[in-house]
Structure 1
Amino acid sequence: MQNVLITAGASGIGRAMADAFAEAGARVWVVDSDAEALGTCPQEWRRDRLDVTDEASVADLFARLRAEWGGLDVLCANAGVAGPTALIEDQPPDGFRRCVAVNLEGAFLFTRAAAPLMKAAKRGAIIFTSSTAGMFGYPNRAPYSAAKWAVNGLMKTAAMELGPFGIRANSICPGSVEGPRMEGVLAREAAAKGTTRDAIYAGYASGTSMRSFVEAKDIAQMAVFLASDAARFVSGQIIAVDGHTENPDPKV
């Protein structure tokens, strides 16, 4: 049985990952900043309300995890925020910093804490939720794009450092994912461009070969694969689950 820890695991992509790992027979521990969403998770899951950028809280979590589970097989560093939607010159610095803190610093703190546990066991898988924004530049999304590029750099370094200990690291890069977070992006971008939500949606979809958004379960299934023995030599990879993004500049 795998021990799996998922950040932002109570809703969206993280919840889909938690459901998929639980269905595969894993023991699941989810952390999230949303107490209401945590309350909807199954009682058999371990659950914690946590700010992923709070170093002391992360250290306390891992102390308890070590005491209760003894070790960790899989870390899904999934927590992220969309950040402000605006031209670079209009980006609020505080919004930029918060976006980078949650997306990048949170992933760093959890990887930093997980590494010693996995090294001791000489096995493990770390799965970062990045984005196609971490593969291309995106207009009006400077904070998010910058943070997700950096997540991929963190992943590459983790794969190199931890590989000799039997630990693999990979990034999943979702494209546009159906759900509340993307709806917020669509609404903000429509307002910034003076158009409609549907026009922005169509622009994003038309930039993929499959002309469609993906669903959270598509990301979750990739995570389960990357954590499995079937992917035992897959490491240091940036894997897009996006229907093949052809053009990252949404057409309106």
Structure 2
Amino acid sequence: MKRVLITAGASGIGRAMGEAFDRDGWQVWICDVDAGAVASVPGHWRANVVDVTDETSVAALFAEIASEWGGMDALCANAGVAGPTAAVEEIALKDWQACVAVNLEGAFLAAKYAAPMLKAAGRGALVVTSSTAGQYGYPYRAPYAAAKWAVIGLTKTLAMELGPFGVRANVICPGSVEGPRMEGVLAREAAAKGMTRDEVYAGYASGTAMGSFVEARDIGEMAVFLASDAARFVSGQVIAVDGFTVNPDPKV
């Protein structure tokens, strides 16, 4: 049975990834900083409370995985935070650093400790969660967009480094995903732009060819595909699951 670790896997996109891998017959191990959410995952999953920006905690998690599982077949480096919503001149350095720490450094640390396991196995996959903000930019979200652009560069580099060992690395760029996290983004952006929540929502939806937000399960299914043998020669790719963004900054 194949084994996957998913960071920030207790809720939202990460939880949907876990459920998709579970349906496909994988063993699932998740970590998350939210202890309450970790306690709510299915009982047959392995689960740890971990801050992905704390290298000591990340190293301990991978040591436990090596001891219990003897390795892994896939890593989904999914941890991320929205960061501040404000004009660049209004963003405090500490808020910039906190956003970059989770979105970029969290992915780096997960990859750092997963790589030796995957290289030793001579196969496997890294799936890193970026965002369409990492493809187009994102007004009033400079730290988030910068970090999500950076993880694309990180993942393409990992694809080059790990490819000779039979390990693939790809990026998923979710668009606007239905759920509590996006609702928070909508509320903050509405306040920053002097708009209503519904106006901001309509602007995002109208900026896609399919005129709709996506659901977390759509991201989960793509993660399973990229980790599977069906994608055995897919590496170094950036795949948007967004209904096709045709206008990344729609005006309403």
Task: Give your verdict on TM over 0.5.
Answer: yes
| Equivalent residue, structure 2, for 1:190 | 190
| Equivalent residue, structure 2, for 1:167 | 167
Letter in 2 for 1:13: I
| Equivalent residue, structure 1, for 2:205 | 205
Letter in 2 for 1:19: E
**Shift in alpha-carbon separation, 1:250–1:150, aligned structure 2, 3 A:** same
- In the superposition, the TM-score normalised over structure 1's length comes to 0.99
Q: d(CA) in 2 for partners of 1:235 and 1:194?
A: 42
SS in 1 for 2:136: coil
Q: d(CA) in 1 for partners of 2:114 and 2:38?
A: 22
Residue 6 of structure 1: how far off its partner (Å): 0.2
| Equivalent residue, structure 1, for 2:154 | 154
Residue 156 of structure 1: how far off its partner (Å): 0.3
1:48-197 matches, within 5 Å, as: 48-197=48-197
Q: d(CA) in 2 for partners of 1:37 and 1:202?
A: 30
SS in 1 for 2:105: helix
Letter in 1 for 2:215: E
SS in 1 for 2:30: strand
Deviations 1:90-138 (A, max 9, x none): 1121111011000000000010000000111000100000000000011
Residue 250 of structure 1: how far off its partner (Å): 3.1
Whether the 8 Å CA contact 1:187–1:197 is kept in 2: the answer is: yes
User: Quick one: percent identity of the two aligned structures?
Assistant: 71
Q: d(CA) in 2 for partners of 1:218 and 1:95?
A: 30
Aligned residues between the structures? 252
Residue 202 of structure 1: how far off its partner (Å): 0.4
Deviating 4+ runs (over 3 angstroms): none
- In the superposition, the TM-score normalised over structure 2's length comes to 0.99
Residue 249 of structure 1: how far off its partner (Å): 0.9
Q: d(CA) in 1 for partners of 2:131 and 2:137?
A: 11
| Equivalent residue, structure 2, for 1:7 | 7
| Equivalent residue, structure 2, for 1:227 | 227
Whether the 8 Å CA contact 1:206–1:251 is kept in 2: the answer is: no
Whether the 8 Å CA contact 1:168–1:236 is kept in 2: the answer is: yes
Q: d(CA) in 1 for partners of 2:206 and 2:169?
A: 31
Residue 247 of structure 1: how far off its partner (Å): 1.1
Letter in 2 for 1:197: R
